[in-house]
Chains A and B, each alone.
Chain A
Amino acid sequence: MAFHIRPRIRRAFRLSLRRPDLTKREIEEELRTHLALRVSQLVERGMSLAEAERHALNRFGGSWEHAVSRLTAAGRVRDGRLQARERIDALWSDLRYAIRTLSRQPAFALVVVLTLALGIGANATMFGVIDRLLLRPPPHVRAPGELLAINRTATQPGNSQLLVAMQYPLYTLLRADTAAFREVAASSFITGLTLGSGAGAEQVMGVFVNSDYFRTLGTSPALGRVFGLQEDGDVPSSDVVVLSHGFWQRRFASDPSILGKPLRVGPRSLTVIGVAPESFSGVDPRRVDMWIPINQAAVYHVAREQFPTLWSAIWVQIHVRLKPGVSASEAAARATTIYRTGVSESAGAMKGKRGGPGSDRLTLRSILPAEQLADNPEAKLARLLFAVAAVVLMIACANVASLALARGSERRREIAVRLALGVSRWRLFRMWVSETMALAVCGGALAIVVAEWGISLLQRTLLSDFAWTESALDPRVLAVTLGLVLLTIVLAGLAPALRASRPDVVDALKTGGRVGSVALSRVRSALMIGQAALAVVLVVGAGLFVHSLKAAANVRLGYEPSQILSATMDVKSYGYSIPARAGLYTAMRERALNVPGVADAAISSTHPLMAWRFGMPVSVPGRDSLPQPPMGIPFYNAVGAGYFSTLGLRLVDGRPLTAADVSAKARVAVLSETMARAYWPGERAVDRCILLDGDSVCTTVVGVAADAKERVQAADAPFLVYVPLSPRWDPGANALLVRSRDADGARLVEPVRRAMQGISPNLPYADVQSFDDLLMPEIRPWRTAATLFSLFGALALIIAAGGLYSVISYGVTQRRHEFGVRMALGAQVGDVVRQVMDQGVRAALIGLALGSAIAFVAGRFVETLLFQTSPRSPSAFAVAAALIVIVALAATFIPAWRASRVDPVTALRGD
């Protein structure tokens, strides 16, 4: 029998409280005692022995075996309940103990909780984003794994390009091929739809779809109905619209009586017939406001009237589901054949036009975001940032672990006492784990707050184009956070717990727990070095992306994007003729010029950041062959007076186009610098004669303008001919450019919009955006990366600095005695300071070397995400080195200074 210790004492020292299980032998013994006593009682009352035995057994159900089995079962229930209760008690007491111990060292607890909150919070945030972008299938799509998108790989000599836009007739043909395709859907996304008119007009995102669309996706409406076959018929019956849930909520406050109401979209009034389910946005995560039958596309000038048979218009996305038993490659081969046949037949019909897609190949790709976005730079970036967040968590865990280690050696004596008293090692280990758990749970709870805030911040800033209607923090993010907390418990709790539960009892008791073991301090050094190394990697990464962002912002576009606004209005759908449009834009220009802060304004048929380009055959009399521009054909832009000064485009030679040129419809042109150089290398282009669009009459080159880049990353500039805006050029006026007096062009967006909209209450939405905003989608990846990397890098530095500081200052506290002796023996302040700082700074330097090596190797993974920046940029490494050294010096100096202030007398007396 184990020696008896009272339960209260057992509890106080964490000894086993366990009530032993009831064994079968015990039950039998108890039973036997009872039967014997009962029999003797009955015999005393006058029964015969045999009768008494029978009677006694009867009271147990008749037989011995029966009695034993029933009691054993009851005993087992008892054991189970006691065990469960004991476990809960133990857990509870562990937790209470942990909280009590921790509350005695609130600074330690606070540092650990904050470290974990930031580390875990950053991870949960990034997971939330990754989850939405890469992991989660689009909501409300039936069997999303089976839904495939048709892509086209256009192969030209030298490069191949993956395109998602297809021709409408291909959709019709695929739908007819019922042997391979079970369901086929066509859709076309358009951003510039106008809702309402006049001053209250706004711009909405629409998708043109067939009735097949919702059926193929397997989506049923939240309210009303989606498109049926009747909407595939003739135009008049399809003046209907299905609203997205988010739009319905935002615009109509979820009014259930919306069905049947008219909604003015562009020039048409559409009847609302349904509302899509919550957070449904098709297969794309992009925000959608409404779905419109595709046969309305011509009305909105998304396609021409003849679109059902037009092979030259490439504008729809096609999604399919295959017949059972048909493989994706089989279906892709069939689709390719159908496509090639269709294109070559139509090319035959439209003689003279180049068909040439004979080598195009169609492929089927899963719509699952993980596969669809695999090559997308933003997805790549999201994955990278997720890795970064994981590194921050690792640093945080290392921090917690080294703090816990420090505490562990501080408490060696206490542990030794417990072990000497016979507390089981397992129990001790559990105490440690539960202490870490208490911290991790607090850290995790706080991390949820951090993540909630972080995700909503990212949603608002970096990912605002996406359809986020559901709550930011969903159960999966919570589950992952919880998983990370558990992981942290294991990582941060295990090592110190293992170490702590195995000290040499006698040794620890003898030395009074002052001397930490060598192995322990080695682990701590390794953790410090690791932290420093990881922090260096992140800081280098931040440096690379900040450099990329700066490089991108410094690209010479030929104009100053922050000063220029683009103002467009989709009046084509409203039936404005070319002269009427010119009149409208001219009126808008005059109003815009009166807006305070506007320096200049000009109208044009397109501008560098507009998606539209117009091709123009150009020839030069007397020359058989002309240099080919990179994009196959020269483009032209019909511009009004002041175009060059508004855009700030420098005239390299000659003069700009003037108001007089426009009113006189003069045959004059300005060429882009690249074109002029290519046509007349080393000579002046001004005063030359060019023939435009098959003319036989000369157009005189009057000037050469600097190239205007269309994209930050554009490698080569187009051949561009500027001509005076006139009815001769059928794109007509499509845009108004406005130049702001100062660099804050965004400020003018609303005033200019109001000025344009004020002309007539029936006008569609005026889309006014600064060039900065138009360039944003291209700059955004670098900006996102630079911002988040800097944030995470700073976080890593702070956490690592905190870790370094606490470990060093812990060491100083431990060695007070030693420092006291040294000072007493005449050591100089500087010696002590140097000695203490030495340890931390050395760890930081080794970490720096290690981190630089990792960053150097890992650089190639981010190379494609950088812009005009080498992943081995010396400046990024230099900045990281300087930062880590400064941080290490700062973090170690304070404890070192404290060490030199130790009063020898107090320190020596203290023991």
Chain B
Amino acid sequence: MPPTLSLVKGTLDLLILRALAWQPMHGFEIASWLEERSSGALDVDDSALYQGLYRLEGRELIAAEWGITENGRRARYYKVTSRGKAHLKQETATWVRYTETVTGILTGPQEA
């Protein structure tokens, strides 16, 4: 198993938004979704995840409501607000451009 990657600062918020863009979820579902999607390569601290959720809530990028899980537990369900969607779209574009540029430089032909 390859070593897990720690998160680049600021990407957690983006990942949460991406997860919720798919469908409203509660905290554990988001954590599982992230682990699944990264095939366990991303190590997200659960505490950081909830802090991120509260932060996004404060910025009104996501909103929460209490609901009931499949097995009858009460859980807070988060969903992306319209502001959050716009934010995700914009930040994703920025992120892609950024990584492409950095990757291009790092993996480009080396001059001796």
Do A30 and B27 form a contact, CB below 8 Å, given A38-B46, A75-B54? yes
What are 15 residue pairs bridging A and B, where the CB atoms are less than 8 Å apart in the complex?
Answer: A30-B27, A33-B26, A33-B27, A34-B50, A37-B73, A38-B46, A56-B46, A59-B46, A61-B45, A74-B50, A74-B51, A74-B54, A74-B55, A77-B58, A81-B58
- Inter-chain CA distance A31–B50, complex, in Å, is 9
Query: B54, A30: Cβ atoms under 8 Å?
Result: no
Size category of the B interface is 20 to 34
CB-contact partner of A77 in B28, B55, B74, B75, under 8 A: B55
The reply to whether B73 and A36 contact each other, CB–CB distance below 8 Å, is yes
- Mask of A703-747 contacts with B, CB within 8 angstroms, 1/0: 000000000000000000000000000000000000000000000
A60 at the interface (CB under 8 A from B): yes
**When the two chains form their complex, are residues B73 and A33 in contact, meaning their CB atoms are under 8 A apart?**
yes
A-B residue pairs, 3 tightest by C-beta: A81-B58, A78-B58, A59-B46
Given A30-B50, A41-B32, decide whether A78 and B69 contact each other with a Cβ distance below 8 A: no
Q: Does B57 contact A (CB under 8 A)?
A: yes
When A and B form their complex, what is the total count of cross-chain residue pairs whose Cβ atoms lie within 8 Å? 67
Task: Kindly provide the distance from the CB of B39 to the nearest chain A CB, expressed in whole angstroms.
Answer: 15
Residues from chain B with a CB closer than 8 A to the CB of A70 are 47, 51
Task: State which residues 26-61 of A face B: CB under 8 Å.
Answer: 26, 29-31, 33-34, 36-38, 41, 56, 59-61
Interface: B100 (CB within 8 A): no
Q: Min CB distance, B19 to chain A, in Å?
A: 15
Main secondary structure of the interface of A (DSSP, over half): helix
> Of the candidates A30, A38, A41, A71, which one forms a contact with B51 in the assembled complex, judged by CB atoms under 8 Å apart?
A71
Contact of B76 (CB < 8 Å), options: A26, A38, A41, A82: A26
Residue of B nearest to A38 (CB): B28
Minimum distance in angstroms from B70 CB to a CB of chain A? 11
Query: Is A460 positioned at the interface, with any CB of B under 8 Å from its CB?
Result: no
With an 8 Å Cβ cutoff, the count of chain A residues facing the other chain is 28
Known: A41-B32, A59-B47, A71-B50. A33 touches B75 (CB 8 A): yes
Contact of A30 among B31, B45, B76 (CB under 8 A): B76
Q: List CB contacts (< 8 Å) of B28-54 with chain A.
A: 28, 31-32, 45-47, 50-51, 54
Distance (whole angstroms) from the CB of B32 to the closest CB of chain A: 7
C-alpha gap A74/B45 in the complex (Å): 15
A residues near B74, Cβ cutoff 8 Å: 29, 33
Whole-angstrom CA separation of A38 from B75 in the bound complex = 13
Contact B54 A77 (CB under 8 A): yes
Is B91's beta carbon under 8 Å from chain A?
no
Judge if B89 is at the interface, Cβ distance under 8 Å.
no
Which residues of chain A are within 8 angstroms of B69 by Cβ–Cβ distance?
33, 37
**How long is the Cα–Cα vector from A31 to B31 in the complex, in angstroms?**
13
Q: Which B-chain residue is minimally distant from A73 (CB atoms)?
A: B51
Which residues from 794 to 836 on chain A have a C-beta closer than 8 Å to any C-beta of chain B? none
Q: What distance in Å separates the Cβ of A496 from its nearest Cβ neighbour in chain B?
A: 34
Q: Is A85 an interface residue (CB 8 A)?
A: yes
A71 touches B54 (CB 8 A): yes
B76 CB contacts on chain A under 8 angstroms: 26, 30
Specify which chain B residues have a CB less than 8 angstroms from the CB of A30 in the assembled complex: 26-27, 50, 75-76
Is A22 part of the contact surface with B, judged by Cβ < 8 Å? yes
Taken together as a complex, chains A and B put the C-alpha atoms of A579 and B27 apart, in Å, by 110
Per-residue interface assignment for chain A, residues 290 to 333, with 1 indicating a CB less than 8 Å from any chain B CB and 0 otherwise: 00000000000000000000000000000000000000000000
> B59 and A81: CB pair below 8 A?
yes
Per the 8 Å Cβ criterion, residues 51-95 of B in contact with A are: 51, 54-55, 57-60, 63, 69, 73-76
- In the assembled complex, A263 has its CB within 8 A of some CB on chain B: no
Q: Which residues of B contact A31 (CB under 8 A)?
A: 50
Interface check A67, CB cutoff 8 A: yes
* Cβ contacts under 8 Å, A37 to chain B: 28, 69, 73
Give a binary string over A59-99; 1 marks a CB under 8 Å from any B CB, 0 the rest. Answer: 11100000100110011011111100100000000000000
- Measured CA separation A30–B53 after assembly (Å): 12
Q: A30-B27, A36-B73 are in contact. Are A82 and B47 (CB under 8 A)?
A: no
Query: What is the chain A residue whose CB lies nearest that of B45?
Result: A59
In the complex, the chain B residue whose C-beta lies closest to that of A56 is B46
The minimal Cβ–Cβ distance linking B106 to chain A, given in whole angstroms, is 32
Q: In whole Å, how far is A86's beta carbon from the nearest beta carbon of chain B?
A: 10
